[in-house]
């Protein structure tokens, strides 16, 4: 499945402008044959927006979800994007996957919040594995800091995730996560990992870009630089099956030895 990663911080604070950026990227991605476009963490609103988080937060089935469903349908590709989700009085840092026919396939709430900003504005999610079927692949969702916990990604592997989509807001000086950790996660869990980052200065943060789609062999299929960019790579189910056959990490586990982990 050809996958496009939109490395962009959009226009922080403006949902309308970010929808325009997403629409334009979806057009370019579809023209290049992509079946999936993934955008970064909190792409809908911007990340470093302070108390505007609560004001701009929307339900999973809100107006912006409808607008993105229309974009997905018009361009004929699935879209994954990050946004602040409101559920009653509670706000989550969420990511949603919408299919090419506009169906809401999956909605994930970030389970591991990073830093004071996130802990002040969001409630952590409680469901670590959220999946959907897309173009013959089992697609899982996770957000940024979540991928840095090996237990989280291993839970996806055990649940059969083939392609893990990770909208992220990775900042300086943690670029080693994109450069080194993500390919290792893909290798040790025998899956594709699509890690799509924000870029440039935003509030007190400096986002490092370096979005990557890594394969189950630990090799980056595509990697962005430090600027706004749309990059592409394929998640190949045939290669994935062969890699899992050759690298039987999951079969060789001895769970009875791991009780101390919990």
Catalytic residues: 41, 110, 144
Taking each helix axis from N to C end, the angle separating 182-189 and 150-158, rounded to the nearest 10 degrees, works out to 40
Element (H, E) at 71: helix 63-75
Query: CA–CA distance from 212 to each of 28, 92, 105, 113 (Å)?
Result: 18, 25, 23, 22
Q: E strands within the chain?
A: 2-7, 36-38, 78-87, 90-98, 104-109, 130-134, 137-141, 163-167, 192-196, 199-202, 205-208, 212-214, 220-223, 229-234
């Amino acid at each position: 499945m050809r996958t496009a990663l939109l490395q962009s911080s959009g226009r922080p604070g403006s949902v309308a402008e970010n929808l325009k950026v997403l629409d334009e990227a979806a057009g370019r991605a579809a023209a290049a044959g992509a079946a999936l476009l993934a955008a970064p963490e909190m792409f809908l609103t911007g990340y470093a927006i302070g108390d505007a988080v609560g004001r701009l937060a929307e339900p999973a089935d809100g107006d912006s979800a409808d607008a993105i469903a229309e974009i997905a349908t018009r361009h004929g590709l699935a879209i994954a994007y990050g946004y602040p989700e409101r559920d009653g009085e509670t706000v989550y840092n969420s990511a949603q996957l919408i299919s090419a026919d506009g169906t809401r396939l999956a909605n994930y709430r970030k389970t591991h919040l990073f830093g004071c900003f996130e802990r002040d504005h969001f409630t952590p999610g409680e469901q670590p594995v959220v999946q959907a079927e897309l173009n013959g692949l089992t697609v899982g969702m996770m957000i940024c800091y979540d991928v840095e916990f090996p237990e989280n990604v291993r839970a996806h592997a055990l649940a059969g995730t083939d392609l893990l989509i990770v909208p992220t807001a990775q900042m300086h000086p943690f670029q080693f996560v994109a450069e080194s950790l993500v390919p290792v996660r893909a290798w040790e869990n025998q899956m594709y990992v699509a890690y799509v980052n924000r870029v440039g200065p935003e509030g007190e943060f400096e986002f490092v870009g370096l979005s990557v789609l890594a394969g189950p062999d630990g090799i980056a299929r595509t990697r962005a630089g430090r600027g706004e960019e749309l990059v592409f790579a394929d998640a190949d189910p045939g290669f994935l099956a062969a890699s899992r056959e050759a690298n039987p990490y999951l079969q060789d586990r001895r769970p009875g030895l791991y009780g101390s982990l919990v």
